Chains A and B, each alone.
Chain A
Amino acid sequence: MPLLEVNDVHAYYGNIHALKGVSLTVEKGEIVTLIGGNGAGKTTTLRTITGLMKPRDGHVIFDNEDVSKYPAHAWVSRGIAMVPEGRGVFAKLSVEENLELGAFHRNDKENIKDDIEKSYEMFPRLGERRTQLAGTMSGGEQQMLAVTRALMSKPRLLLMDEPSMGLAPVLVDVIFEAIERINQEGMTVLLVEQNAHMALQIANRGYVLQTGQIVLTDKADVLQKDPTVQKAYLGIE
């Protein structure tokens, strides 16, 4: 049984048919990537998974339960965390306070401190800046913060919406290495990316989304060699 199963989901913004029957699965312990161009429906897919958006048709099943049965906003306590598009951090709070807020639904106060220390071990740059206001950090540092803050909720599935957006190549490497490391420690990741090259390097499997439809899916290394993917997303003619 996969941890996450998206089954023939249709979603609309008013009359705009944004998802036209999307299906995908994520097994426990995998990194799965969802690649696609601007406006393909990647963010919309994530929104239906968290329940922020109700699909008009189809099901999202997380951990054997239909997500639509959740009360609104219950996804965090059910074990899903999201790193939102465009790295939303609380600009006027310190790094440490951002991390504390990441644990907003947890009750185990003692462990929160330990987990914050673990975040600093993962990204020493955050540890050096624990009292700095998040808004004054570089884009890469903010993305590190967004990732670790998502982890603070102790999720079983981590959704990431274009973590490489707007980052210098060096920083993209740092972030992707971290994703791999998190995954090796047992985290299941669904990674939405336009940077197909990087995403396919660390992912186990991938899906290609085009105007609201999955047009291709396979093992990541196979997709890397696929001529259409190479042409459309890897810039290889």
Chain B
Amino acid sequence: MTTQVEQKIRVLIAKPGLDGHDRGAKVIARAFRDAGMEVIYTGLRQTPEMIASAAIQEDVDAIGLSCLSGAHMYLFPRVMELLRERGADDIVVFGGGTIPDEDIQKLKAAGIAAVFTPGATTGEAIEFVRTNVRKTV
């Protein structure tokens, strides 16, 4: 308890809804691991409730949501809402997938910190996490 151990960034990567496109989410999860982060992967078909609850128990610094099916306007804000209800909206929520530009603005207004779309590099996503997660323990 006395030696100051290195602090790790913990990120939950989740696939909300019925969407099974997991290539992108897995690529991101691996890249985050290779960047030295601890990545909790909850697997497919998660409800917003399950995601919010897992994020709180795991006390993650950030939640990365991946959705390619077009249901993001329902699912992403719902996760934010649940976190807010449980006083955990200091967790940075960001995401990616097939998300039209016009929706990105709306998602940001709903509290989603960043949205990465096809062609984004894993490097950009890592950079985002490193500069935006809470720094204190």
Report whether chain A binds chain B. Answer: no
Residues of B participating in the A interface, judged by any CB pair closer than 8 Å? none
Residues of A with Cβ closer than 8 Å to B?
none
